[in-house]
Amino acid sequence: MNRIPWLHSALADSILILSPAFVVTAAVLLWPRFFTAENDVSPLLWLMLVVGVDVAHVYSTLYRTYFDKEESARYRQLLIFIPLGCWVAGILLYSLGKYTFWRTLAYLAVFHFVRQQYGFLRLYSRLESTCRIGRIVDGAAVYLATLYPLVYWHTHPRSFHWFLDGDFIPLAAPWLERITLMLYAAALAAYASKAIVDARRSGVVNWPKHLILVGTALSWYTGIVLYDGDLTFTATNVVAHGIPYMGLIWMFERKKSTALIYRPLMAPVFTGFLIVLAYVEEAFWDVLVWRDHTQFFSWLAFLPHLEEKSALAIVVPLLAVPQATHYVLDGFIWRIRKGAISGLGPVSLP
């Protein structure tokens, strides 16, 4: 490697991919009273973080699949049957119990969040000629940066949850957290040693790759381990994941397409469309199921609040289809064929 492997440019990568984790973590560390004062996320912050970023980023997959002529042709059958399969599977899971459905979806979401960080690390490693052991060191570092906080969460009661209270299985195993922490420290030490050797050998410091790891470690540790608050977790979790994902979609499609939507000045339209879809989805969730933020969705107040299990077993999995489809499709759309992503260079992503 003789150059820094930016995905688009130093400026775009820094703003869209690298900085979100650092910015939100810095905000939490600088103003801890604000982030820990409220037990729950305020309605306005919920609208901004959950709807405006978390749910919106789910719909950015549309640009990469259904709205991409090449990909929609390549994955035609998947794009039809995966949403249907997710709905059917959701109905079956919900029929086994509410917590069976939400617990399955929570762990699927966790897998998706963890794999995204590994994926970014691999993207920024694409120009490196690293041996198998080197790739194992990289993978261990980024995986443990996410898995250690998750193990801590499972072994230490937290005041927040992923989707709803009780969706994670508590583990009475403090020894597991201690072992994972030791492995985490060893992985970070091995990664740092390898980074120094690689920099001396190549004469290039792979800053974006290292910043992905550091940002992941800081945001996950701060949001889950260091502080025990719903707003802290939501902010670090949503911002550090959703914005980079939407940024990657924009970068990828901009390299492939000449459509106006992918021009920098059209960024408000690019994101605004996603936010509108997210708002409409959340309106149906809130009115039909949750009834937590009805002040934002009065235009749907005529719809009933569903309470019968048979109705919820159909509607809840249906409303979760965009999210579940996003998780499942993500495993296909970033799978690299013949070693390249539209000019980004060789890389292998699951």
User: Please, which pLDDT band fits residue 276 given cuts at 50, 70 and 90?
Assistant: very high
Report pLDDT for 333.
Answer: 81
Question: Residue 152 pLDDT > 50, yes or no?
Answer: yes
CA-closest candidate to residue 108, choices 330, 301, 277, 346: 330
For the segment 138-150, the average pLDDT, to the nearest whole number, is 97
User: Please, which pLDDT band fits residue 344 given cuts at 50, 70 and 90?
Assistant: very low
Scored b (16 or more CB within 10 A) or e, 131-163 reads eeebeebbbbbbbbbbbbbbbbbbbeebebebe
For the segment 313-341, the average pLDDT, to the nearest whole number, is 82
For the segment 330-346, the average pLDDT, to the nearest whole number, is 56
Q: Which residues have C-beta within 8 Å of that of residue 71, sequence separation ≥ 6? A: 64, 65, 333
Question: Residue 343 pLDDT > 50, yes or no?
Answer: no
Report pLDDT for 350.
Answer: 33
Question: Residue 306 pLDDT > 80, yes or no?
Answer: yes
User: Please, which pLDDT band fits residue 235 given cuts at 50, 70 and 90?
Assistant: very high
Report pLDDT for 2.
Answer: 64
| Better-predicted residue by pLDDT, 16 or 331 | 16
User: Please, which pLDDT band fits residue 39 given cuts at 50, 70 and 90?
Assistant: low
Report pLDDT for 41.
Answer: 83
Q: Which residues have C-beta within 8 Å of that of residue 44, sequence separation ≥ 6? A: none
pLDDT tens for 76-101 read 999 999 999 999 999 999 999 999 99
For the segment 109-137, the average pLDDT, to the nearest whole number, is 92
Question: Residue 342 pLDDT > 90, yes or no?
Answer: no
Report pLDDT for 327.
Answer: 95
Question: Residue 67 pLDDT > 50, yes or no?
Answer: yes
Question: Residue 121 pLDDT > 90, yes or no?
Answer: yes
Alpha helices, DSSP H only, in the chain? 10-12, 19-30, 32-37, 43-46, 56-59, 61-64, 69-74, 76-96, 98-123, 132-155, 174-202, 207-220, 230-256, 267-285, 309-319, 321-333
Question: Residue 29 pLDDT > 90, yes or no?
Answer: yes
For the segment 97-125, the average pLDDT, to the nearest whole number, is 95
Question: Residue 50 pLDDT > 70, yes or no?
Answer: yes
Task: Report the predicted TM-score, pTM, of the whole model to 2 decimal places.
Answer: 0.92
Contact (Cβ atoms closer than 8 angstroms) between residue 252 and residue 119: no
Q: Quote the percentage of the chain above a pLDDT of 70.
A: 94
Question: Residue 113 pLDDT > 50, yes or no?
Answer: yes
CA gap 109, 328 in Å, rounded: 10
CA gap 211, 96 in Å, rounded: 42
How does the average pLDDT of the chain come out, rounded? 91
* Residue 312 CA: distances (Å) to CA of 84, 98, 101, 200, 306: 17, 9, 11, 59, 7
For the segment 309-326, the average pLDDT, to the nearest whole number, is 97
CA-closest candidate to residue 55, choices 346, 218, 293, 252: 293
